[in-house]
Amino acid sequence: MRRTITALLLLLNGVGAAMAQPAPAKQNLPKQGAAKQAPVQGGNCVGVVSQLGEKLTVKKIGYTVFGNEDNEVPVESWRVDDLVIAKISGALGNRAAVKRISYHKEAFASLETLKLFRDSEAEVGQGVRTLVAGTRCARYLLVTRAYRNVGTSNQSIGGIGLLYDGVGPLSRVNAYALFALRLYDGESFALLKRVVASSGGSDFFEGIHGPHCLVDKSFWPESPDKAAQDARVREAIRELVSQGMDTTLAELPLTE
């Protein structure tokens, strides 16, 4: 596992040149006990790497740059990625099984660092190929945070979080879940489609482009850690992820 993660980090940072291709496995893949998934036969599965639910961003945009705040708190206990897996399994039905693939927390860190003059998608594809080595599925699906600017500002948000925007009586608090899904061919690892989750309607005139909802100002925590303990915030985020997955999965050719 250590070798796999090391190779992945090299690829995502543009250091790796070429990785050995994994030999096709001849045996059936094992069951995912916790998720109670059906055994995978002959590669008839969709391998899923979901990186959405590790952390919650608690961000404030003030009247000036000095009023801005940006914090992250761990929320793995919310089991957002379990929800993602369940949604994908539901969308597949009996067409194919879901194979959940574990990863190191820092495996995709460089995806959040924009670099000029690099083929980011090619690097991500190579990283996924390395990460899933030893598995055999017809498709692989990568779920990651997606970053978008807030309105016309230079402030960006991504993943799951709370946003306090504005000052005084015009201020407002939004919960959001911004993420992207990349679908790869299981043989060539060619990118078949990349889709960014939408709100299901037109958000052209909205400050947040993606699944979000206006919440009561009492949702804004006294401290970032308090947000992770608020059941209202957790349920609002999980509902937004659920809605975003429903609208986005319909756009992906999960099976041949």
Angle, CA 164 vertex, CA 158 and CA 170 arms, to 5°: 135
- Please tell me the pTM assigned to this model: 0.78
CA 46 – CA 88 distance, rounded (Å): 9
Residue 26 in this model has a pLDDT that exceeds 60: no
Q: What is the pLDDT of residues 65-84, one digit of tens each?
A: 667 899 999 999 999 999 99
More confident residue, 125 or 161: 161
In this prediction, residues 170-175 reach a mean pLDDT of 91
Torsion over CA: 148, 153, 156, 162 (sign):
negative
DSSP 7-30: HHHHHHTT-----PPPPPP-SPBP
Residue with tokens 């401290």: 223
In this prediction, residue 212 carries a pLDDT of 95
Residue 119 in this model has a pLDDT that exceeds 50: yes
Q: 102: Cβ–Cβ under 8 A, 6 or more apart, which residues?
A: none
The rounded percent of the chain whose pLDDT value lies above 70 is 73
